[in-house]
Amino acid sequence: MAETLRIGLLQGPTGLPADPAASLAALERAAAQAAGRGVRLLVTSEMFLTGYALGATVAALAEPADGPAARQIAAIAARHRVAVVHGYPERDGDRVHNAARLTGPDGTALADYRKTHLFGGYERSVFTPGDRPLAQATLDGVRIGLLVCYDVEFPEAVRAHALAGTELLVVPTALMRPYEFVARTLLPARAFENGLHIAYVNRCGPEGEYDFLGGSCLAGPDGVVRARAGTGPELLVADADMALLRTTREQNPYLTDRRPELYGSLAARRTAR
């Protein structure tokens, strides 16, 4: 395992809404810049490829996981020798998913994930939720897991990754105002209670009816935010320290002190609405 994994957090939008070609051009520029700064993993925001606030247009822009845009992103990754996580609308037959893919630095697809917890009426009207809680792959000896935005706000989703050995949880997101507390408070707590790094990469600025707040960050397993972006477009570079992760997991007893025999009925129970 690498002692550190250098991550580039590409806060955007850096392209134009409903213009995948502009987004791909922006990714090419960012990958070149990231490679020059020693980045091994470049992470984009939720729905990076097309923009988030698309309404019904999202169906027309959705592509299969291995579609033309994915092949162009694979070429970008291989050209700059940088792994890439990108958010996009995935078409699977008649269904459209809010998805993320991890592409390796040689252009190979390493992991695919479909958002399992859809947020609000807009997402529920255009996307089908995923049904696989875990998507993982290994890069430079580091076990990487994928979630998308709202997923990370569910403690069960993050704990499942911790128990499955995820060391760096990558979360493309589209966090809008007035939910600043998620990036400021919840993310560091999630990282601490599960003993893992979380790379949380947000959109920024107005888009349709939304105002995305930026604030992308890398939170460490000790609950300390190692790097935090501002409110505008930015390529934030930070290192995930794997030695810190090992030390923190030895010192933090949450995972070893669990009593799962008590939790089964609680996890399955639904709160009445």
Catalytic residue (choose from 46, 63, 153, 207): 46
Show the beta-strand stretches assigned E in 93-213. 95-103, 109-114, 136-139, 142-146, 168-172, 197-201, 204-207, 210-213
Q: Which of 63, 90, 123, 149 is catalytic?
A: 149
Which among 63, 115, 167, 207 is annotated as catalytic? 115
| Strands lying side by side in the sheet with 217-219 | 136-139, 142-146, 168-172, 197-201, 217-219, 225-228
User: Is residue 181 within 8 Å of 215, Cβ to Cβ?
Assistant: no
- The span from the CA of 114 to the CA of 130, in Å, is 5
Catalytic residue check, 46 = yes
209 as an active site residue: the answer is no
Query: How far apart, in whole angstroms, are the C-alpha atoms of residue 252 and residue 258?
Result: 12
Please indicate whether residue 149 is annotated as part of the active site: yes
Whether the CB-CB separation of 192 and 223 falls below 8 Å is answered with yes
SS3 30: helix
Which amino acids are annotated catalytic? 46, 115, 149
